[in-house]
Amino acid sequence: MAKTVATNTGYPGVEVRGSSIPVFFMFKRARHTHTLRLEPTRNNIKHAVQLRSAAMFALRSGSYNESEFFPHSRSAATMAPGKRVGELCDRYKPLKAVDITPETQSRYEVALDICVDTLGRSRMVDSLLPEDIQKLRVDLIATRAVSTVNHYLATFSGFLYWCENNKYCCELGKHCVRFTKSIKDPDPLTYEEYLALIEKGCLHPIDKAAVTVAVYAGLRPGELCALAVEDIAPDFSKITVRRSITQSVTFKVPKTKKERTVLLQPPARDALKVLVADAEKREAADLTVWLNRHESRTDHVRVLLSPKTQARKAVVNDYFVPSAWNTKWANLVRRAEIRARPAYQTRHTYACWNLTARGNLAFIANQMGHKDYSMLVTVYGRWIDTESSKELERIWEGMQNMAQITPKLHQELAE
């Protein structure tokens, strides 16, 4: 069969081939070719020229939808459905959700929706340019904090990388560059402020005990609120941090995904005796602790802190959540007449007090649940004394002991 030869019409990107009109154009190094099943009359050729111009304008503006311009084209019929940013994002969300907790999923969906709406839900993902992602960064940072924008960009980059892996677009995720955020120094309590907080701010024994445990055990607010009688050693020498509570009253494993043991100093031991005496008046409850999105365990325990202990209302929650503890903390600080700071600073106070007392870095990091002590050096560097003459004396004393022990060791080995 003889091959039909294309005839030039005199218009760029429009030809005549037999009884049809092929239309082609280039965009972002990709060739788009469509065949209009129209008789090659003068009016139909002009129609093809105008259609091609409109399609190229839509491509440049990001509103191009191939099936709308060329509904009978073979490439449009075989094109993967839903290449608009909004449609792809809606398909991505449930795929991502299986790897994260429901609470994290909610935060991710908010971030994704804001980014997609800012960028334009109806835009075609393969028409996006690095400039569009840079413009998104500008729009987000105009009205939001750096930490919030960085969370949005990190979440949205995951979606863009997913689009890249599925061949919907090319190299856009890497342009979701996070903004540099200044690292704020910890703002720990001084010992005088701690005493004021205990003596003036805390009017109830439970509050005094809770603040003391927070300061002397270095727990995160969610871990403090989820601590139970069953997590405390019988002699009050240590606690095992097994769970944390979220804002949505969901119990989960600690941040590092594993338990840790915290050895207790005398003030924390005495404070825990007060909290345990109060908690033992309540019945143990079954807590569902989520290990991940699909697995959980049940802890039959008595949580130490309960809003019902000091409740003035008839109906109150069974457990403190971080925001409720933050509210209580703010009231205690205000009553103590000390400088306001977030409740999380009790954890910083624990770290700074231990470092100032020249505690071992590896030990402190382990007690706080860090993987290693690199974070201590980064965050609490100015509380670490690196030029103490006493430290030099302690090292020299240790070296002298080694000098005395080594010959004896060699002699014992020789014998």
First to last CA, the chain: 101
- Determine which of 229-233, 262-266, 373-377 has the lowest per-residue pLDDT on average: 373-377
CATH 1.20.5 segments of the chain: 7-78
CATH T-level fold of 191-370: hpI Integrase; Chain A (1.10.443)
Q: Does domain 7-78 have CATH number 1.10.3470?
A: no
**Kind and range of the H or E element at 326?**
helix 322-336
pTM strictly above 0.85: no
Q: How, if at all, do strands 7-8 and 296-301 pair?
A: unpaired
Average confidence (pLDDT) over 106-111:
94
Residues listed for the chain: 415
- pLDDT above 70 for 405: no
- For 16-57, what is each residue's pLDDT tens digit? 888 888 888 876 666 778 888 888 888 888 888 888 888 888
Burial-class residue 312 by CB neighbours within 10 Å (0-12, 13-18, 19+): exposed
Confidence at residue 139, expressed as pLDDT on a 0 to 100 scale: 95
- pLDDT above 90 for 66: no
- pLDDT above 80 for 96: yes
Q: Distance of alpha carbon 378 from its chain centroid, rounded?
A: 20
Query: Higher pLDDT residue, 14 or 390?
Result: 14
Confidence at residue 336, expressed as pLDDT on a 0 to 100 scale: 96
- pLDDT above 60 for 164: yes
Confidence at residue 23, expressed as pLDDT on a 0 to 100 scale: 86
Confidence at residue 288, expressed as pLDDT on a 0 to 100 scale: 95
CATH 1.10.443.10 segments of the chain: 191-370
Taking a C-beta distance cutoff of 8 angstroms, is the pair 354, 364 a contact? Answer: yes
Cβ count near 415 (within 10 Å):
5
Distance CA 223, CA 241 (A): 7
Query: Higher pLDDT residue, 145 or 76?
Result: 145
Q: How, if at all, do strands 15-16 and 296-301 pair?
A: unpaired
Taking a C-beta distance cutoff of 8 angstroms, is the pair 45, 11 a contact? Answer: yes
Greatest mean pLDDT range, 245-259, 370-384, 393-407 = 245-259
- For 190-234, what is each residue's pLDDT tens digit? 999 999 999 999 999 999 999 999 999 999 999 999 999 999 999
Average confidence (pLDDT) over 80-95:
83
Distance CA 14, CA 415 (A): 99
- Identity of the amino acid at 140: L
Confidence at residue 346, expressed as pLDDT on a 0 to 100 scale: 95
Confidence at residue 79, expressed as pLDDT on a 0 to 100 scale: 45
- 25 φ, ψ to 5°? -160, 160
Distance CA 23, CA 33 (A): 6
Average confidence (pLDDT) over 312-328:
88
Nearest residue to 164 via CA among 172, 155, 175, 156: 172
Confidence at residue 242, expressed as pLDDT on a 0 to 100 scale: 96
- pLDDT above 70 for 75: no
Place of tokens 């342009």: 175
User: Residue 138, SS3?
Assistant: helix
- 303 φ, ψ to 5°? -70, 140
CATH 1.10.150 segments of the chain: 85-175
The overall average pLDDT reported for the chain is 86
85-175: CATH number: 1.10.150
Taking a C-beta distance cutoff of 8 angstroms, is the pair 295, 285 a contact? Answer: no
Nearest residue to 76 via CA among 64, 84, 68: 68
- pLDDT above 70 for 80: no
pLDDT band at 76 (very low <50, low <70, confident <90, very high): very low
Distance CA 352, CA 356 (A): 6
Please report, rounded to a whole number, the percentage of residues in the chain having pLDDT higher than 90: 52
Query: What letter would DSSP give residue 199?
Result: I
- pLDDT above 60 for 3: no
- pLDDT above 60 for 70: yes
